[in-house]
Amino acid sequence: MSADVETSLRAPQAYELARTALAAMETHKVWPTALNFELWVHYVAAKDSPLGAEIDQMLEANEPFTDAVGETLAAKFLPKQKLSSEILDTGDALSKELDSVTRAIVSARESSEAYDQELANASESLAGEDTGKIKSMVETLTQATQRVRQENQTLESQLADTTAEVGRLREHLEQTRREAMTDGLTGLANRKSFDEALEHACQQAEAEGGTLSLAVLDIDHFKAFNDTWGHQTGDQVLRYVASVIGRFGDAPRTAARYGGEEFALIFPGETARAALAMLEDIRLEVASRVLKRRSTNEDLGAVTLSAGLAERHAGEGPAALIERADAALYASKRGGRNRTSAADPIAAEAA
């Protein structure tokens, strides 16, 4: 949520804003989940924002606002603030820990300096002194040694606590990072993660003169499916398709949910010919399963996929590569769906 919306929610008109958001949600049959509420408060507070424009477009096209849509919009428009506040919290905790270690080290250094000083004083006054005085100096030195030993023990145990705490913070940060890169519904890489992986793969292919292929896959007639069977079942179909695509997405490949019912696979180091064979396996496997509606056990029939594939041309960046893979996907749709098309004739011959 942007700072402006956050501010509006702490102003006299806050309840009005919340009521407007809820009323709009009810009108458009959007479940009042926390995530949806966050999105819709943002929407009613700033309709001219990119999020507002996207929701307006959906409403105009009469597209249902499913959980999957909510998650996609949140991943696109909301996570930066969430992520940065979590990172800030973690960073704060980390810096507190570091402060405490620094204080402990300073105090140990000061004690050890004082100890050195006491030793120096003692050795200076030793010359020509009587045994009584020497005895008392030895006692002072023994006490100073004990003090330093105790302080070292405290420091050691503080360091052990801090190491454990830093380990926990690192784990938390890693989990936050993973969540920020993952699509909540399907567990695949999200759009942000996909964009980064494709950018990196293009740069690497350019630098090393390597091969790189990209596939985009779209579930056929998904909107009609959602309308017939409901969004919950629609979400399960997304998870099913994702589970099949995900099996082909081991590193260095990336399997991602690219948009609502659209997926993508990045194939670093692989030709379109090799990628095409895998896409066909995915397509046939998805189409071969007759799905059941979990609540009623009714047959849902099979779901089919259309796919488009492009092998990167020398000098080509992510946007141009996506555009060619998308064009191939639309060729599949126009050609009757449940098929894979390749952007390049050579790859198409290999089919």
Is the Cβ of residue 95 or residue 295 nearer to ligand C2E in the bound state? Answer: 295
Which of residues 240 and 248 has its CB atom nearest to ligand C2E in the complex?
240
- Burial (Cβ within 10 Å: 0-12, 13-18, ≥19) of residue 99: exposed
**Nearest approach, Cβ of residue 184 and ligand C2E (Å):** 13
Closer to ligand C2E by CB, 8 or 233: give it.
233
Minimum Å gap between C-beta 239 and ligand C2E is 4
Q: How far is the CB of 260 from ligand C2E (least distance, A)?
A: 16
* CB closer to ligand C2E, 170 vs 294: 294
CB of 295 to ligand C2E, least distance (A): 8
DSSP assignment string, 31-79 = ---HHHHHHHHHHHH-TTSHHHHHHHHHHHTT----HHHHHHHHHHHSH
Write the single-letter amino acid at 153.
Q
Q: What is the dihedral of CA 166, 170, 176, 181, to 10 degrees?
A: 160
Site for ligand C2E, rule CB under 6 A: 233, 236, 239-240, 243, 291-294
Out of 38, 97, 261, 316, the active site residue is 261
For residue 81, give the 3-state DSSP assignment: helix
C-beta of 198 vs 291, nearer to ligand C2E: 291
Residue 46: what residue type? Answer: A
DSSP 247-282: TT--TTSEEEE-SSSEEEEEEET--HHHHHHHHHHH
Longest dimension (CA), the chain: 108
Active site residue 261: yes
Smallest distance, ligand C2E to C-beta of residue 248, A: 13
Query: Catalytic residue positions?
Result: 261
